[in-house]
Amino acid sequence: MSSHGPARPMSSRRSAPLKGEALVPGDKSISHRALILGALSVGETRITGLLEGQDVLDTAKAMQAFGAQVERQEGGEWVVNGVGVGGFAEPESVIDCGNAGTGVRLIMGAMATSPITATFTGDASLRARPMGRITEPLTLFGAKAVGREGGRLPLTLKGATSPLPVRYATPMPSAQVKSAVLLAGLNAPGETVVIEQEATRDHTERMLAVFGADINTEITPEGRVITLTGQPELTGQTITVPRDPSSAAFPVAAALLVEGSEVLVPGIGQNPTRNGLFTTLAEMGADITFENEREEGGEPVADLRVRFGPLKGVEVPPERAPSMIDEYPILAALAATAQGPTVMRGIRELRVKECDRINAMARGLEANGVNVEEGEDFLIVHGTGTPPGGGICATFLDHRIAMSFLCLGMATRNPVKIDDAGPIETSFPDFIPLMERLGASFRRENA
Ligand code: S3P
């Protein structure tokens, strides 16, 4: 899916108290990985709670193109019959990963050590994102990549015929780079080692162990050293995908913004490599309780009870960035309604997400009467309690920018308009009806 059709402008206005339960969809990161590892396993993988957003549907389609059987059963369970490590077939056509950076980067890793060739593309957002960070380590295994300038898509990857194992230190904190190298390492003989300075989300490591790979992580003075033994036989598993903390962030934020709200957000993944936003919200004075803490599918999970309350601006430590990298847009919206400045540093990676998120948030907040300061790797938002609103925000094909500004509009004096709600389909297809059921006041606008 390269495009989601005509733009769908939408506005959000000051809302009455939000009440009820928000059942957010399955974790996007875990959903991609469940499909890919299912495809690389022998036998049947059954997945419940899979995110049925466009990003993940595009990965499901890609796994079919590489030879796996992927089917949705009645009732919503997904079944993958895999081809085993090294068993990928050459796709007959171009692999279109739509908007999904995670999808394309992990799939490139998964095929890079098989003797096949594939060409990848995506939508305008994905075609603008850097892929050199993936193709560079993949060439160390013996793969060859030809892309546009900067390694951008469309890109053709020729997998290695006699892959070598690799030892690779990631030059930036990126779970996608780490995961691409580990997935490539699956079909290389010997040990593939990835070293990261800062902990990024570890779903790949956890899930590889669940599927039967020999993988371990050591904390050393060099960093986190992850060692995978190549050419394991992965076997199909039953996977329960927890609900996505990055999607939960939107109803959580909305409940914190709208006076008188109380919302329950059940079953949310609490993996420590993902929960930096909740630490930050606690520092801002947010009233969130974590109930019924438990483990599901190898991941910690809790029900979140969120109550409205005034927030204060904080300084977010840069070392927390990897554990909340996707949550800065919604944090910036919340910061606009807090008292005092919120300082976000060490966020350079936001410039190469689905869009340049520092720029998108800064411009959209300014359009709504919020003062911001912006630098190459920082954003400072000057919160004033109740921002004026009344502005139009460009969303640049970015689902999280679209949802963040719709949440902001629930607490501003005047409505906030976004130019396109379409991209929300990529990660949270039910976002608009779900928020409306809680009490949000959205309106479809004319283009
Ligand atoms: C993801 C890793 C992060 C994150 C993305 C999902 C993943 O990207 O922003 O939404 O599932 O591995 P980077 O690896 O580029 O930091």
Q: How many Å lie between the centroid of ligand 1 and the Cα of residue 244?
A: 13
Last residue of a domain, one of 206, 240, 274: 240
Q: What is the DSSP string of 26-63?
A: B-HHHHHHHHHHHHTSBSEEEEES---SHHHHHHHHHH
Q: Which of 108, 201, 327 to mutate to test the pocket of ligand 1 (most atoms within 8 A of CB)?
A: 201
Element (H, E) at 413: none
How large is the average pLDDT for residues 239-263? 97
pLDDT tens for residues 407-437?
999 999 999 999 999 999 999 999 999 999 9
Find the 54 Cα to ligand 1 centroid distance in Å.
16
pLDDT digits over 264-307, tens only? Answer: 999 999 999 999 999 999 999 999 999 999 988 778 999 999 99
Instruction: Identify the residue whose C-alpha is closest to ligand 1 atom 10.
Output: 326
C-alpha 138/C-alpha 22 separation (Å) is: 40
Residues 6+ apart with CB under 8 A from 197: 169, 170, 173, 223, 224
Count the neighbouring beta carbons within 10 Å of the beta carbon of residue 372: 20
Atom of ligand 1 nearest to the CA of 172: 16
* Contact in structure between 27 and 241 (CB atoms under 8 Å): yes
pLDDT of 112 higher than 70: yes
**Residue 359 predicted with pLDDT over 90:** yes
Q: Could you tell me if 233 and 311 lie in one domain? A: no
Which numbered atom of ligand 1 lies nearest the CA of 29? 11
Cα of 102 from ligand 1 centre, angstroms = 6
- Maximum CA pair distance of the chain? 62
Please report, as a single letter, which amino acid is at residue 112. A
Same domain membership, residue 421 and residue 287: yes
- Please tell me whether residues 264 and 204 are part of one structural domain: no
Question: Best substitution site from 172, 325, 348 to test ligand 1's pocket, by max atoms within 8 Å of Cβ?
Answer: 325
* 257 & 405 share domain: yes
Q: Whose CA is nearest to atom 11 of ligand 1?
A: 29
With contact defined as beta carbons under 8 Å apart, do 40 and 233 qualify?
no
- Give residue 1's pLDDT: 39
Tell me, in angstroms, the distance from the centre of ligand 1 to residue 238's CA: 24
Query: What is the tally of structural domains in the chain?
Result: 2
Which amino acid makes up residue 8? R
212/287 same-domain check: no
Lining ligand 1 with CB less than 6 A are: 29, 102, 174-176, 179, 201, 325-326, 349
- The model's pLDDT over 346-358, given as tens digits with 9 standing for 90+, comes to 999 999 999 999 9
Q: Does 1 fall in a domain?
A: no
Query: What is the distance in A from the centroid of ligand 1 to the CA of 190?
Result: 27
Predicted TM-score (pTM) above 0.95: yes
- Position in ligand 1 atom list of the atom nearest CA 174: 14
Residues 287 and 406 in one domain: yes
Average pLDDT over residues 21-44: 98
Which one of 240, 274, 302 terminates a domain?
240
Residue 110: which domain range? 28-240
Which residue puts its alpha carbon closest to atom 13 of ligand 1?
Answer: 174
| Distance between CA atoms of residues 82 and 333, nearest Å | 42
**Which residues are identified as catalytic?**
326
Tell how far the Cα of 113 is from the centroid of ligand 1, in angstroms.
Answer: 22
CATH number at residue 321: 3.65.10.10
Residue 420 phi/psi, 5-degree rounding, is: -165, 115
Q: Is residue 4 part of a domain?
A: no
* 3-state secondary structure at position 234: coil
Closest residue CA from atom 16 of ligand 1: 174
